[in-house]
Structure 1
Amino acid sequence: MEAELRGTPTSIPVSNPNLLQTPRDSLSGALRGRLGSLDGACIEKLLLHCASALESNDVTLAQQVMWVLNNVASPHGDPNQRLTSWFLRALIARASSLCPTAMPFAATGLARARPMTVTELAGYVDLTPWHRFGFSASNGAILKAVQDRPKVHVLDFGITHCMQWPTLIDELAKRPEGPPSLRITVPSSRPPVPPSLNISIEEVGLRLANFAKFRDIPFEFHVIKANSANSGDGMDAALRFRQELASGQLDPSSLGLRDDETLVLNCQSWLRYLPEESGGIARDPSSRDGFLEFIRGLGPRIVTVTDEDSDLDSPSLTSRIMACFNYLWIPFDALETLLPKDSPQKAEYEADVGQKIENIIGFEGGRRIERSESGVRFVQRMKRARFQSIPFDEETVKEVKLLLDEHASGWGMKKEEDMLVLTWKGHSSVFTTAWVPDGFDE
């Protein structure tokens, strides 16, 4: 198991080992020989027992396991302890919905995600290559695709508030043949997930325009507005996002496409927030496959997609917890090498990951929007949707490697047939890909 392989502390003291003595043979058997200390593999077993109890509505057993986890978790401890704090918080929330009076403890001391300034967001993005990896690889593929093209239109679907584009603007300004005119279009709606920004997307566009002007690039920025009729007060944020996205923002007539422009589609950490097909006769453009069908119909010169390389969409709570625990230790472990334990920046970064854990574990149905799939599964999805992969050229791969050299030595890269994969201590974390529709005619 990955939890046994990680480079984190070998054990976590438990303040009261007797709490491990439950009347359930399965739990005591799982913990036999581990009394007095809990490593990552044992914590994982506890989480799975708790998930199994919750799935069978056994609140008593779930409460017993959470008492143990409560003595392990610490928001100021080592990576395993901090990660456990967020899992415990999510499990408490889920269990409280089954039996509100049966949870006499709570995970405390955890930071909450808050809106950032532009400067803080830049620092957030620069801290690890989690986002910059995809930025760098995608920009390299885009630069190659629009070489010698005088007019470029980027449709940007992403969660990092256009932080990718200053670097692309800078590179376009250096083109030997001269820079193109650049137009960027973004939807006004975005998934209700961190990082959030304390200024509007329109203000982001103004700042990009100023930067493009400084680099002598003709620039336009367009925000596609949602139909406010579908954005009722009190509507769940996840549902509102999907309805707003489908309401006019995925309509070719709203995109202002121009025949003389080279169209680029960019999706950074976006597709995992779109639901699977609802089962209706007509495909919903805000569903995952419906969205791919929609963008294919636009005839883009290139489609770039970056996302987290993990399957977190199982209908089974136990499967999701196992996948989540064996994946989201990566940012906690990576941050341990970068920032001191009492760093506010570390706490806020981990709070973003914690919100993801809470959604994966605490919600079902339409409210559970964290549904990432592995790169391998995504590649299969794109090929079913009649896209062909575009290999990243050696210059792009070189640039990505130089980027990783700026970060801790644990970060690495795998070059696979249809994608590049960011790794931490050999474990896959983020994949990035580039595509063109089958039969695309330049």
Structure 2
Amino acid sequence: MSQKNPSKSQQLLWVLNEVASAYGDCDQRLAYYFLQALFAKANNSGLQLYNTLKIVEEKNYCFDTYVKLMLKFQEVSPWTTFGHVASNGAILEALDGESNLHIIDLSNTLCTQWPMLLEALATRNDETPHLRLTLVVSTSLETIIIKEITKKMEKFARLMGVPFNFHVIGGLDHLEEIKKEDFSLQDDEAVVVNCIQALQRVRVEKRTDVIDMIRSIKPRVVTIVEEEVDLTSTRSDFGKCFEECLRFHRLYFEMLEESFHPISNERLKLERNRSRNIVNSLACDDGEIEEEYWRPDKASQWTKRLKEALCPFHFNDEILSDVQALLRRYNTSWSLALPQQEHEVGIHLKWRDETVVWASAWKPIAPSPQNPS
């Protein structure tokens, strides 16, 4: 396909289609979803397929079912909770002793991160602080269920005895549309910005602008968690992009195969959720997707970009201990990787010695006396 030989491509795709199955082993499932994307690319129907998958997901969506799916996923795998524990630890350290807190959440995790943090705030030795949580919503699916998320969060905050205010910023086509003024910042509040798999949804040419906007908020800490896959610098070479996309999703699908029963409905749903990213990456042009843009980078690429506006906020020993305690709840395939060189920032979650998720924390660069801005 990268050699622009359509007849040969179609022939090979049909041969491979004979062994592909969404219900088979890991290789058969990978073949099924990747062939789906490759057929769409060959027929110039990537956007049509993407929109079809999106409509089907939204039509079949149920908030309670989705929450149960995420809880089950967290039970069998630290893929998401790794970033939650590391980020919450950095946030709690940065806000220690503050009484008026404001968390700006740019993530798409549907607030599954925050019950753990609310519980930690409720058990602080000093007076329980007031928490204002601002959630930025930039996908249609999040908009559909935002009322249910709001009720769940307010109910849990009352249960924990944490004074709580929940604010939602919606109506965005792209995350880069958000402005500092939208957050209604107050002088007496300590602000943090949380970005769990958020920056990968920002268009590449706008990422510096978004990071500069975050810096202008003057947060105590910025927490950033991203999956370790490069689908940005590989975009110009379809062969390399395909190889990198397959490498990463093979790890993800193998992890699901090890974590769930072969006929698990949860496993099937998680794999289907990933199918849109595969289509997005391989069958759609950068300008086609109006929302849910997905162009992840690796830690080294993020670090280089982030260091232009922010400096590292290193995870302390207590946070690292909490992350290691989390990983001990799972099988021995999981491990924690610490920075090995001076220029490296953050920590990695590894599965079978392959890095899959990167977690880091940052703070604004202190202005020099010559340049107080």
What's the counterpart of residue 254 of structure 1? Answer: 182
Kept in 1, the 8 Å contact 2:143–2:170? The answer is no
Could you tell me which amino acid in structure 1 is paired with residue 196 of structure 2?
Q
Kept in 2, the 8 Å contact 1:269–1:308? The answer is yes
What's the counterpart of residue 244 of structure 2? Answer: 323
What's the counterpart of residue 338 of structure 2? Answer: 415
Moved over 4 A (4+): 196-199
Kept in 2, the 8 Å contact 1:115–1:198? The answer is no
Contiguous gaps of at least 5 residues in structure 2: 46-55, 369-373
How do 1:43-442 and structure 2 match up within 5 A?
51-53=1-3, 56=4, 58-97=5-44, 113=57, 114-118=60-64, 119-120=67-68, 121-190=70-139, 196=141, 200-226=145-171, 241-242=173-174, 245-247=175-177, 250-277=178-205, 287-313=206-232, 314-367=235-288, 369-384=293-308, 386-416=309-339, 417-439=344-366
Deviation at 1:326, TM superposition (A): 1.0
Paired residue secondary structure (2:191): strand
Q: Distance in 1 between matches of 2:142 and 2:101?
A: 27
Deviation at 1:125, TM superposition (A): 4.1
Q: Distance in 2 between matches of 1:131 and 1:435?
A: 19
Kept in 2, the 8 Å contact 1:126–1:132? The answer is no
Q: Distance in 1 between matches of 2:170 and 2:32?
A: 39
Could you tell me which amino acid in structure 1 is paired with residue 264 of structure 2?
S
Q: Distance in 1 between matches of 2:187 and 2:222?
A: 18
Q: CA RMSD in A?
A: 1.9
Percentage of identical aligned residues: 31
Contiguous gaps of at least 5 residues in structure 1: 1-50, 99-111, 227-239, 278-286
What does the per-residue CA deviation read over 1:255-313, in whole Å, with 9 as the maximum and x for residues that have no partner? 11011100000001111111122xxxxxxxxx211100101011111000001111012
Kept in 2, the 8 Å contact 1:138–1:434? The answer is yes
Q: Distance in 2 between matches of 1:159 and 1:328?
A: 19
Deviation at 1:122, TM superposition (A): 2.9
Deviation at 1:315, TM superposition (A): 2.3
Deviation at 1:134, TM superposition (A): 0.5
Name the TM-score, length of structure 1 as normaliser.
0.74
Kept in 2, the 8 Å contact 1:337–1:408? The answer is no
Name the TM-score, length of structure 2 as normaliser.
0.87
Deviation at 1:440, TM superposition (A): 6.6
Q: Whose Rg is larger?
A: 1
